[in-house]
Structure 1
C-alpha cells in the first residue's frame, strides 16, 4: 500500500504534503462491504479534487492459528475480488485491503462501517481515541442495541464510543446488484446536510446508485433494522409453504408495525427487497423447515456471515415486554418467539389472523 501511494504521488508532482482531500476507509470485508468498495473505489477516483485516490478496506482475518492460507485482505489485494463473500465482482485496484484495523482507520476522515452489529462494540473499543479529530462515520449496519432499559440506534452507539458524528446509509440494496452496477437507490440519514450529508452524497452517489439525503436519520436507521424482522416473518411464510396472499399480508402488516419513512428507499422498497431476496428471509425459511439451530443454519447458508433479523427481534421484544406493548406488535413478537421455539406455525398464523390492524 505504501509503495502504491508513493508511486502515485511521484507521478503527480509529489502533492501528498498538505493534502486536504478526504481519506476514506471501509470497515468490513463481507459481501456488503465489498459491494460498497466497488462503488466508492470508483467515486473517489472520479473526484480527485475532493477525495484521496486510495480507499482502505479492513477485512477481519478469520484464519485459525497455523493456517498458512491467504487472508481475505491478501486475496483482495492480489486478485481484486472477494472470492469468499462476493465472487465474480471486481473490486477497483485503488481499494487496498488490510487485516490491521488501526492501520486502515487512523488517517481516515470518513469511516464506512459495514459489519454486523454484534461486532460494532469491539471495533469501536479498538479505535477509541485513535481517530483523526475531524473524522466522521457512516453506518451501513442494520440493527438496534439494547441496554435492558431502552433501545439505542447503532449510530448512537458509534458516536458514544468514538466521539464522532455518525450518519447512516440504508436502502433497497442487494450486494451483488450494487456491485454489478444495476440500478439501486439508498437513503442517507444525517444530523446536518451541510456538515455530513453533502460530502457523503458525493462519496456514494453514482448514475446507478442514487442517493437521497434526509435529516430524519432516526427513521432511516429504524427502517433499516426493523425490516429485517419482517423479512424473517416472510421467510417463515415461504418455509411453511403458505400462499402468496399470506406473504403479501405478512409484509403489509409488518410494514404497519414499522410505520416509519414508508416511501423512502430505506422503507417500503428495502422491506420488499429484503422479504424476497435477502439473507434474513433465506435463513428464516430454512429455520422453520428444519430442526437445526439458528447458528448452524447461518453457518451453512451465509458462509460465515450473520442474519441481523433474529437479534434485532430479540432486542425489540425485550423493550416491548418492558413497556407492556407486545400485543400491539404481533408480527415482531411472533418472529422472536418462533426463533426461540416458543411459537409454531399455528401461533404465527394467528398473529396475522388476529392482527390489531383488522380491528378498525
Structure 2
C-alpha cells in the first residue's frame, strides 16, 4: 500500500488538537503515512497577520488553540480544495452546518480510494428529517466515512492528559488504519461498528449539556445536575432506538456515550455558555458570541433541530427534558421548568 496522505478539514480548537495527534502519528508510522499533514484553515487575520502564516511560522494556532505547540509537519492551507487534493484520508472536524457545502467543493479533487472520518458532533436536519453526518458525506463524495466521538475536551487532549475515544467504522477493515492515525498513549482508541449510535450520542449530549448549564446557572447543585445527566442518557438512548435503525445499547456505555455526556455536562462550552445565559438577560446567541472567541455551540442548533423533528411527529412529550431545554432557551420558558420536567416520570 502506498503511503497515505492525511488532510484535516477544519482548524478550530478541536481541529487543531486532532491535527496534532494525526501529525504525531504520521511521523511515528512513517511507513504508512506521508509526513506532511495538511490542515484547512478558514483564512482570517490576527494582529494584522494571516492565521495560516502564523501557524506555519510559529507552529501554533494562536486564535483557537493558543499556547499549544503544533508539530512542524502540519501545513496550514487556506484553500480547502488545495488541502484535500490527493488525500487518502480526510478528517472532517468543522461545525456540522458547514460540512455539506464544504464537501460539495471537494467532489472533483479527492482520489477514488480516499476514506473519510467525521469528528463532527451533530445531525443533519433537512425536510423535517434528521440524517447521520457521515452518511451525508458518503453520499456527496462517494467515499466510505467512519466517525470518531468521545469524552474529548480539546484542551485536555492537546495537553496530553489521558482520555478515551471511540471510532465507529462501517468497514471494520479500516479499523487498523484509523487506529494508527489516532491512537496514542494519552488518546486511547476503541473501534466499534455502530456509527449511527455513536453519532446520535455525539449530537444529543450537547443538548443535555445545555440542561446541565441551566442547572448551574440556577445554582441547583450536583443532585439536580446528576438527574439531568441520567434522564438525558435515557432520552438519548430512546431517541437513537426510536428513529435510527441498528443502534446498539452497548454504544451508550462507550466513551462516545456516557463518558462524553459526563465530561460535556461538567466542563464543555455548551454547559458554560448555558450557565452564563441564565443570568444574562440576553439571547444565548449573544452570550455565545461574547464568550467563545468565534467558536460555535453545537447544542443550540441541535436543540432546535431535534425539537422541530419531534414536533413534526408529535413526539415532544416523549422527550420532556430535551423539549424543556429548547423551550427555556428559545421560547422564554422559566428556567425552573427544567426541574418540573425532571419530576415528570415517563415510563421508558
In structure 2, C-alpha distance between the alignment counterparts of 1:342 and 1:325, rounded to whole Å: 21
Residue 53 of structure 1: which of 35, 42, 49 is its match? 35
Q: Which residue of 2 aligns with 1:101?
A: 80
In structure 2, C-alpha distance between the alignment counterparts of 1:342 and 1:198, rounded to whole Å: 49
- Deviation per CA, 1:202-253, whole angstroms, max 9, x where unpaired? 1001111110111111101111111001101000000111121111111111
Residue 159 of structure 1: which of 117, 131, 138 is its match? 138
In structure 1, C-alpha distance between the alignment counterparts of 2:100 and 2:289, rounded to whole Å: 22
In structure 2, C-alpha distance between the alignment counterparts of 1:210 and 1:346, rounded to whole Å: 39
Q: Which residue of 1 aligns with 2:201?
A: 223
What is the TM-score normalised by the length of structure 2?
Answer: 0.93
In structure 2, C-alpha distance between the alignment counterparts of 1:296 and 1:208, rounded to whole Å: 36
8 Å CA contact retained: 1:224, 1:266: yes
Stretch moving more, 344-353 or 47-56: 344-353
Residue 300 of structure 2: which of 299, 310, 330 is its match? 310
Q: CA deviation at 1:157?
A: 1.6
In the TM superposition, structure 1's runs of 4+ consecutive aligned residues that sit over 3 Å from their partners are none
Residue 318 of structure 2: which of 328, 331, 348 is its match? 328
Q: Which residue of 2 aligns with 1:245?
A: 223
- Deviation per CA, 1:4-60, whole angstroms, max 9, x where unpaired? xxxxxxxxxxxxxxx910000011110001111111111010111100011000110
Change (3 A) 1:68 1:171: closer
In structure 1, C-alpha distance between the alignment counterparts of 2:221 and 2:273, rounded to whole Å: 19
Q: Which residue of 2 aligns with 1:170?
A: 149
Gaps of 5+ in 1: 1-18
SS at match of 2:48: coil
Kindly indicate whether residue 113 of structure 2 is the aligned counterpart of residue 131 of structure 1: no
Q: Which residue of 2 aligns with 1:191?
A: 170
In structure 1, C-alpha distance between the alignment counterparts of 2:219 and 2:140, rounded to whole Å: 44
Q: CA deviation at 1:136?
A: 1.2
Residue 210 of structure 2: which of 215, 229, 232 is its match? 232
In structure 1, C-alpha distance between the alignment counterparts of 2:36 and 2:202, rounded to whole Å: 29
What is the TM-score normalised by the length of structure 1?
Answer: 0.90
Q: Which residue of 2 aligns with 1:12?
A: none
In structure 1, C-alpha distance between the alignment counterparts of 2:199 and 2:220, rounded to whole Å: 30
In structure 2, C-alpha distance between the alignment counterparts of 1:231 and 1:238, rounded to whole Å: 10
Gaps of 5+ in 2: 238-248
Larger radius of gyration: 1
In structure 2, C-alpha distance between the alignment counterparts of 1:96 and 1:307, rounded to whole Å: 27
Q: Which residue of 2 aligns with 1:72?
A: 51
1:253-272 map, 5 Å: 253-259=231-237, 260=249, 261-272=251-262
- Deviation per CA, 1:162-196, whole angstroms, max 9, x where unpaired? 111111100001111111111011000110110x2
Cα RMSD (Å) of the superposition?
A: 1.5
In structure 1, C-alpha distance between the alignment counterparts of 2:313 and 2:285, rounded to whole Å: 29
8 Å CA contact retained: 1:40, 1:203: yes
Q: Which residue of 1 aligns with 2:15?
A: 33
SS at match of 2:49: coil
In structure 1, C-alpha distance between the alignment counterparts of 2:96 and 2:319, rounded to whole Å: 23
8 Å CA contact retained: 2:23, 2:73: yes
SS at match of 1:185: strand
Q: CA deviation at 1:71?
A: 2.1
Q: Which residue of 2 aligns with 1:22?
A: 4
SS at match of 1:182: coil
8 Å CA contact retained: 1:148, 1:319: no
8 Å CA contact retained: 2:7, 2:37: yes
In structure 2, C-alpha distance between the alignment counterparts of 1:206 and 1:236, rounded to whole Å: 35
SS at match of 2:124: strand
8 Å CA contact retained: 1:28, 1:115: yes
